[in-house]
Amino acid sequence: MKIRLLTLLLFVATTLVAQERLTPELLWGLKRVSAEGMTKDGRCVYFSSKSIDWHTEKSTAHTYKITIESGEKTEWTSESSKTVTQRYEDAWYAVHENIVYKSTDTGATWQEIYTGAQDQENVWVSPNGKYVAFSKNVLVKPMLGTDIYSDLPNTTAHIYTDLNNRHWDTWEDGKFSHIFVATVKDGSVKDIMVDEPFDCPQKPFGGAEDLVWSPDSKGLVYVCKKKFGKEYATSTNTDLYYYDVTSGKTENWTEGMKGYDTEPKFSKDGKKLAWLSMAQDGYEADKNDIIIMDVADKKRKANITAKWDGTVSGYIWSNKEDKIYFNAPFEGTEQLFDVSVPYYKGDEDRNTVNNLTKGKFDITGIVGQSGSEIVVTRTDMNHATELYIVKPKYGDMRALTHENDRAYQNIAMCKTELREIQTVDHATMHAWVIYPPDFDETKKYPTLLYCQGGPQSALSQFYSFRWNFQLMASQGYIVIAPNRRGMPGWGVQWNEEISKDWGGLAMQDYLSAIDNISKEKYVDKSRLGCVGASYGGYSVFMLAGMHNNRFKTFIAHDGFFDLKSFYGTTEEIWFPNWDIGGAWWKEPIPSAYEKFNPSNFVNKWNTPIMIIQGGLDYRVPIEQGLEAFQAARLHNVKSKLLYLPNENHWVTHAQNGIAWQREFFKWLDETLK
C-alpha cells in the first residue's frame, strides 16, 4: 500500500513539474476537432481531427467514428481522394473532382452516379438519390480585360461600373456561384440561376448550409441575396428561394422579410420549415430569431424566439420535432437552449425558451440528438474544441472526444473568473479576468485590457488560435476582457447600444474595466497594455487619444483609424451605414465622423503602439493601418508596423500566425515588462 501511494505521489509530482506554460508553438500543435455528422440511429458520431505542422504549413486530418454510449473510437477510412458530403440512412455520397459517388455499405465501396460536376464547390444529393445539386462559378458579367478583349490575353485590367467590386479578400471577376441540378438517370443538368448575377452559397462565408433538399426530393430551398452592385453592398436582405425540380420554377418563400434569412431546415415530414431570421435590412448584428413556417400554407409563420431577450447562433430540430434546440450567447458564455414548436394557433406565449446548460464554457455548435441526449461542440478559455454529450433535462455534460487530453497534461491551465464592474452610467458590466498559471496574489503582474471586435460579437469562453487568452496569461500577464456595450448575451438593448456610439459609452466601459482591475494589489499599474483587433483595433486607436496615461503600450490589428477613408474604401457599405450613420457627406454629417474618429485625436498620442495590417483585408483596408503607422511615426511615437501581405481580416497561415504571436509578445516585452 505504501509503495502504491509513493508511486502515485511521484506520478503527481512529475506531472506538475512537467507542465509547461502555453507557447505559440504548443498552441499550433493542438488538434482541431470538427463534427462531421451522426449515424441515423443516433448511436455514433463522425468527427475529424486535424493537425497542422507549422514548420511545413501542411495539415493532416483523420476521420473517426465514435460510439456515444461507450466512447469507443475507430478511424473511418476511405479512398483519400473522396470527400463524403452526405450520410443518409440508406446511402452515403461522396465527391472527387467531377464525379459524384454513392455507397450503400457505409463507405466500404463506391459507385459512380454522376460525372458532370466539373469545377464543383459543393454537392447536395436529393434524399431519393435521383438528383444531384452542386454549385460552381459561372461567368455572368465580364469584368476582366481578358474576358472583354479576346485579343489582349496579357492584360491585367479590371473594369467596373458598380460597387461590390471587391469583397472581403477577393476582387470581383464577373463570375457568380450558381446552383446546378442534374438528373442522375440521364445526366441532364440545369443552371437554376441562369444569367443571374447572384451567388449561392453566399460569399464569402456561405457553405453547404445555404441549400437544403425537401424530404420528398421535389425541390430545394437555397439562400440568396438577389441584388447586384450598389444594392448588394448596402443590403443584408437574403431570402429563401424554393426551386421545383419538375417545373423548373423558383418561388421566394421569405418575400417581405427584410433582413438576413439563413440556415433553412425542413422537418422530417417536410411539412414545416425552420430558419434563422433578422428583421432589419442593413443591420448585420440584428437579433437572430427562429422562424417556423407551415409549408402548405406559407402565410402561417411563427417567430418562436420573438419574446426571448437574446440572439440565436445555431439550431437543430429535436427528434420528435416538438421543439428546437439552439445555442446562443448568454452572460459571457455560449449555452444550449430549447424552445417549443408552435401549432400556428397565434399564441406565441407558449414558446417558452429554456436554458439547458450553465457553466464556464461555450457550446459552439449542435451536432445532433442521440436518444434523450444532445451532441454538441464545446470550448473554454483553456481548451480547444471537443465533442460533448448533454443531458438536457439536467444540464449534465460529459466529454465524448479527448483529442488534446495528452497535450493538456503538459500545459498549465489558467484561472478565469467573471467580474462585476460598475460603469459611468451606473450599469453593471461583466468582464472576464484571466490569470497566469500559478498566480500569486502577493506578486504584481502586468495587465492587458483586451478589446473585442465586432463590434457586436460575443466575448465568451471562446478558444482562439491567435487571440488566445490562455496564451497571453501564460506569458505572465493578467488579462481583463470586458463585455462592454455591443456584446450579445446580456439582452438585446445592451447589444444595440453600441450602434452609432462607437467612441462613447463603450470607450468608458473599457476605462471602467481597467480602472477596476487596477485597484487590485496584484496589478502593476505602471505596466498596463491595451490590445484588440477590428473594432477592437478601432478601440485601441480611440483609447490612445483619451487614456490619460493609463496605458504604457498599445497593439491594434486591422483597426478602423480614419472613418472617412474607411467609408470610402470598405466594401460592405451596410455596415458603416448602420453603425456610423452613413456617408460623411450626408447632411447633416453623422456626428461619429467628428466625435468618434480616432484620426481626429492623433495629437494626443504619446504611447508606444504596434499596428498590424493584412494586405488582403478589404473590410478594413490597408489604408487604415498605414495611415495609423504614418501618423504615429510623424508624431514621434515609438511604433512598429507588422504587415502581412497575404492575410485578410484574420491570420490564416500557420507561420504567419506564429510570427504574429512572436511579434505580439516581443512588443510587450519591449514596452511593458
Amino acid in position 540 = V
Could you give the CA distance from residue 494 to residue 498 in angstroms, rounded to a whole number? 8
First to last CA, the chain: 49
Q: Count Cβ atoms below 10 Å from residue 526 Cβ, excluding itself.
A: 9
Nearest Cα to Cα of residue 288 among 270, 315, 266: 315
Q: Which of 103, 534, 599, 639 is catalytic?
A: 534
**534 flagged as catalytic:** yes
Q: Quick check: helix, strand or coil at residue 327?
A: strand
Q: Give the Å distances, CA to CA, from 672 to 214, 248, 253, 543, 652.
A: 58, 65, 56, 17, 27
**297 flagged as catalytic:** no
Q: What are phi and psi of 663, to 5 degrees?
A: -70, -35
The neighbouring-strand residues paired with 191 are 180
DSSP 3-state percent helix, strand, coil across the chain (nearest 5):
20, 35, 45
Could you give the CA distance from residue 252 to residue 243 in angstroms, rounded to a whole number? 9
244 is written with which cell numbers?
421545383
Nearest Cα to Cα of residue 481 among 526, 446, 448: 448
Find all residues with CB under 8 Å of 320, minimum gap 6, and list them.
Answer: none
Name the one residue in this structure whose C-alpha cell is 469583397: 167
The neighbouring-strand residues paired with 199 are none
Nearest Cα to Cα of residue 392 among 367, 376, 368, 374: 374
**59 flagged as catalytic:** no
Could you give the CA distance from residue 143 to residue 194 in angstroms, rounded to a whole number? 18
Q: Quick check: helix, strand or coil at residue 184?
A: coil
Name the one residue in this structure whose C-alpha cell is 495590417: 613
Q: What is the Cα 486 distance to its own chain's centre?
A: 16
Find all residues with CB under 8 Å of 343, minimum gap 6, and list them.
Answer: none
Could you give the CA distance from residue 338 to residue 557 in angstroms, rounded to a whole number? 37
DSSP 501-553: -TTTHHHHHHHHHHHHHHTSTTEEEEEEEEEEETHHHHHHHHHHTTSTT--SE
Q: Are the C-beta atoms of 410 and 403 separated by less than 8 Å?
A: no
What crossing angle do the helices spanning 505-518 and 535-544 adopt, rounded to 10°? 70
Counted residue by residue, the chain has a size of: 673
Catalytic residues: 534, 617, 649
